[in-house]
């Protein structure tokens, strides 16, 4: 079946460090891929997405590239800030309006 696997956290970094959160997926066909973020005390919100192979999603300095050959969608940011501390969820959807299948989430903690 379809599934998403992401690295366990917490990931603890100092401000301005480089961030990678790994995400791999298993799916039939060509899913759309997403990263959602949950800031403390807030609901989940879409961070970025990619709908086809080799697409790069980007937002707020975060990037992720849809790699079909490695079935991956790793999240990266060149210089993290304390305000990036949150839980990050990788997700896939097989087609428009279908349900999202989420990974277990990775908590990021950034210290000054």
Contact residues: other proteins, CB under 8 A? 32, 34, 36, 42-46, 49, 51, 89, 93, 96-105
Q: With respect to other proteins, which residue has the nearer C-beta, 17 or 100?
A: 100
CB of residue 31 vs other proteins: minimum separation in angstroms?
11
CB of residue 111 vs other proteins: minimum separation in angstroms?
21
CA distance 93 to 51: 9
Contact 37, 86 (CB under 8 A): yes
CB of residue 106 vs other proteins: minimum separation in angstroms?
10
Q: With respect to other proteins, which residue has the nearer C-beta, 17 or 51?
A: 51
Q: With respect to other proteins, which residue has the nearer C-beta, 13 or 48?
A: 48
CA distance 40 to 49: 22
């Amino acid at each position: 079946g379809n599934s998403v696997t992401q690295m366990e956290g917490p990931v603890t970094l100092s401000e301005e460090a480089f961030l990678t959160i790994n995400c791999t997926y298993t799916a039939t066909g060509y899913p759309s891929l997403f990263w959602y973020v949950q800031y403390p005390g807030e609901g989940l919100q879409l961070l970025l997405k990619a709908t086809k192979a080799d697409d790069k999603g980007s937002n707020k300095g975060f990037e992720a590239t849809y790699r079909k050959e490695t079935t991956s969608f790793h999240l990266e940011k060149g210089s993290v800030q304390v305000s990036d501390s949150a839980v990050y969820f990788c997700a896939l959807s097989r087609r428009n309006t279908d349900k999202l299948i989420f990974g277990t989430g990775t908590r990021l903690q950034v210290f000054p």
